[in-house]
Amino acid sequence: MHEMQIRKYLYAFLLGLWIFPAHSLAVPKVERHPLACDDVFPCPPEIRRRVDFWIKVFRSWETEQIVFHDTLRPQRVYSVKTTDSRCSRKRPGRDVTREKRRIRWNLQQIAAKLEGGGKKWTREQKELLTLFPDRDPKEVRRASKNIRCQQGNRDRFEDALRRYGRYRDHVVRVLRDHGLSEDIQYLPFVESAYNPRAYSPAGAAGMWQIMPRTARTLGLQLNATIDERFDPEAATWGAARYLSNATKKLRSVAEEKTGGSVTTSQINPFVITSYNYGVTGMRRAIRKFGPDYVTVLRKYKSSTFRTAVRNFYASFLAARHVAKNAKKYFGDFNSDGVMRYTLVSLKHPTSVKRVTKVFRISDKKLKQMNPALTRYVWRGWRLIPEGYALRLPYRADGWTKKIAKLERLPPEQPQLSGRKYVVQRGDTACAIADAFNVRCRDLIQVNGLGRRALIRVGQKLDIPGKPRRPAKMVVAKAPAATEVNNARINTTVDKGKQRSATSDRPPAKESADAVKTAGTPVKTEQTVITVAPAVASIPAATGKLVEPLIQALELKVVIRQHNGKKLSSVRVEPEETLGHYADWLGIGFTSKLRKLNHIKPGTQIRVGRWVNLPIKSMDMKEAFEKKREDYHRTLVDEFRQYYEIVGLDAHKVRKGDSLWRIAQEYELPYWLLTRYNSDNLSPNIGERIVVPSVKAKKPQKEPPLAQAS
């Protein structure tokens, strides 16, 4: 028996050497830092070591370094590994998984030896044991189950410091105007590394990482033309509104809980944490434990109150410390100067092409100065809207003569030329594109038709304006910005002159569906179209993986009968609010909608419920539908610009799970998860739902800094 045990231990030792190769034995140390805390943003002793850890992350470890540490005691660092593997909570890279196993195995061996009085320790186990001065085997076993990884951020932070110089003055000015502490200027270091183009896999965008649903409540535009989350100045105003409102709400609930006044130092940790976790969650925590931040960290339990949230305030304090001591940690570095510009308020909708021509500036420079404009504008599919405050390079004369020239030019239409086509029975997307002499893929993309380019009778399609090749049809020009209401897209066979739309074929890697149409020409008052038979390819994107993502939603207003009355209604989709409906209807406020639907102020509408709309005309209905379609198309389009679907995983639903919570767990947009599980929006325990696996198309230099694993 004794011989068998020796063999067993020898085998385990040799296996460990084979699976877990030699590793640097020196356990990384997290130094203590002299934190300059105050009554505005306090540093309780209980979280100081957390702050020390995040300071180390920001000033010492580079992005190619992965730090392995204890989840509950981040300052307990086991190892630092240089690798290109991902540090992801749900989908870690191979090197990350292997290193976690190695550390876990060693910790379990340490616990066993402490319990059994073992005397033979490896050098690495002796190093790890120094992290547990109490030599408590239970503590070591607990630690073996709570190993977390964190990517270093020194190079990102240094890049952020350069950009910070460009935006600092504006951010500080806005914070002052809202009565907020100037130190909140360090929050974007944590959120986006001061990158105005940052976009997270969960759908948060811009320097302040604002979610789509939140944008509207903060007064930010988000549509097919403008997304002000990417505008650092507009987004700063929005973030300040959020923080100001959060301060009032959390102070109110704290005073209600304590029965008296509360100090700024009590409230501010909750305000900062709410920026990551939400005001509602922080209100629940205060109602339960009072305005005691340390008690909340220690005792508050929630499936969504995870490591990243618990570390958020500490990481903010760390970013503040590092930024204030930047020269000490980074030496001399070049900081971007403040961007100087001239604002031009457009009196008419204008194309990018016209602006670059009149003012003689490159579209690249224009794009850099106006990040809120979407790619629909840069591609010419939408005009820069009337009233938009366009930024141009600064000139002492304010571009007066050029502005006057711009205003004298005749009204302009986008490349769509204002043309719309109403789908008739028998039409196909590519036949319509062929008739108007445009690329089929452009028509599909502009109208968000999805992989199969499904269209329905009565649907209005925007027609892209750039011709694919010389037209082989006779078209009587319709007036600009009119609809081709009665025209049919038909085909006639002209022997020997059959055309194939080879220029519409997607790359060889993409699959395609062929479409043929046949018929006779129809003459109308507006248009006469004669088209030969066409074989056109419908882009298949990346196949079945993305089909739910690009499939068009049914967003039309439904006419329903209720108590003998006709009601115009819509079913609520993710990222929609009553405020959105009010905007799309042009009624300004939500009071009319709340009264019509018996919804109390402050009550959120849930996804899937029906909401009645005060629609009085067909024009009002069509305008609402158009704006709604544009909004959802923009959400998908922006996500696809940054990320791609690379696989599909299955998640077994546990107690307390919902699609919203699962989306948070996997750091994905809620709307994305609903598209892949449209037939099961309320799954039961034990059921499996589909979770798309996403990958950044181009590695962002400045993704959000606080990562969970």
Same domain, 171 and 108: no
Q: Which residues of 301-337 are buried (b: 16+ CB within 10 A; e: fewer)?
A: eeeebebbbbbbbbbbbbbbbbbeebeebeeeeeeee
What is the four-CA torsion angle of 243, 248, 254, 257, rounded to 10 degrees? -140
Please write the tens of the pLDDT for every residue from 35-45. 988 899 999 99
- Domain identity same for 316 and 275: yes
Token representation of residue 676: 């892949």
Tell me: do 164 and 138 sit in the same domain: no
* Three-state helix/strand/coil letters over 19-68: HCCCCCCCCCCCCCCCCCCCCCCCCCHHHHHHHHHHHHHHHCCCCCEEEE
**Residue 16, φ and ψ in degrees, nearest 5:** -65, -40
Average pLDDT over residues 233-261: 96
Using an 8 Å Cβ cutoff, are 348 and 407 in contact? yes
- For residues 350 and 312, membership in a common domain is answered with no
Residue 621 DSSP code = H
Over residues 344-353, the mean pLDDT reads: 94
**Each residue's pLDDT tens digit, 95-142:** 999 999 999 999 999 999 999 877 788 999 999 999 999 999 999 999
On whether both 120 and 78 belong to a single domain, the answer is yes
Asked whether residue 384 falls in the same domain as residue 461, the answer is no
Residue 612 lies in a domain: yes
Residue that terminates a domain, selected from 606, 626, 646: 626
Over range 285-299, report the average pLDDT. 95
> Domain for residue 450, yes or no?
yes
698 is a domain residue? no
Tokens read off for 548: 């739910």
**Which is more confidently placed, 452 or 681?**
681
In a domain, residue 160? The reply is yes
Q: Quickly count: other Cβ atoms within 10 Å of residue 560's Cβ.
A: 12
Taking the model in full, what pTM does it have? 0.80
In a domain, 35, yes or no: no
Split at pLDDT 50, 70, 90, the class of 543 is low
Q: Which structure tokens are listed for 25?
A: 């034995």
- Please indicate, yes or no, whether residues 509 and 588 belong to a single structural domain of this protein: no
Last residue of a domain, one of 378, 408, 438: 408
Q: Are residues 572 and 598 in the same domain?
A: yes
Structural contact between residues 662 and 632, judged by C-beta atoms closer than 8 angstroms:
no
For residue range 567-596, what is the model confidence (pLDDT) as tens digits? Answer: 899 999 999 999 999 999 999 889 999 999
| Residue 379 and residue 514 share a domain | no
Last residue of a domain, one of 120, 151, 182: 151
Sheet containing 499-500: which strands, arranged edge to edge? 499-500, 534-539, 512-515
Amino acid identity, position 202: A
Instruction: Supply the pLDDT for residue 425.
Output: 78
Domain assignment present for residue 614? The answer is yes
Check pLDDT > 60 for residue 341: yes
| Confidence band of 457 (pLDDT split at 50, 70, 90) | confident
Q: Could you give the CA distance from residue 567 to residue 662 in angstroms, rounded to a whole number?
A: 34
Q: Is 419 left (phi over 0), alpha (psi -120 to 50) or beta?
A: beta
Tokens (6 digits) for 340 = 């100087």
- Non-local (6+) Cβ contacts of 156 within 8 A are 63, 193, 701, 702, 705
pLDDT exceeds 80 at position 692? yes
Residues counted in the chain: 709
C-alpha separations of 622 from 246, 404, 458, 481, 568 in Å:
37, 35, 12, 15, 12
Task: List, in sequence order, every residue forming a beta bridge with 70; answer none if it has no partner.
Answer: 147
CA distance 520 to 488: 9
Claim to verify: residue 466 and residue 500 sit in the same structural domain: yes
Range of the domain at 20: 2-30+66-151
Q: Which amino acid is at 56?
A: K
pLDDT (0 to 100) of residue 7? 52
Domain count, the chain: 5
Examine the domain organization and report whether 291 and 354 are in the same domain: no
Is the domain of 131 the same as that of 162?
no
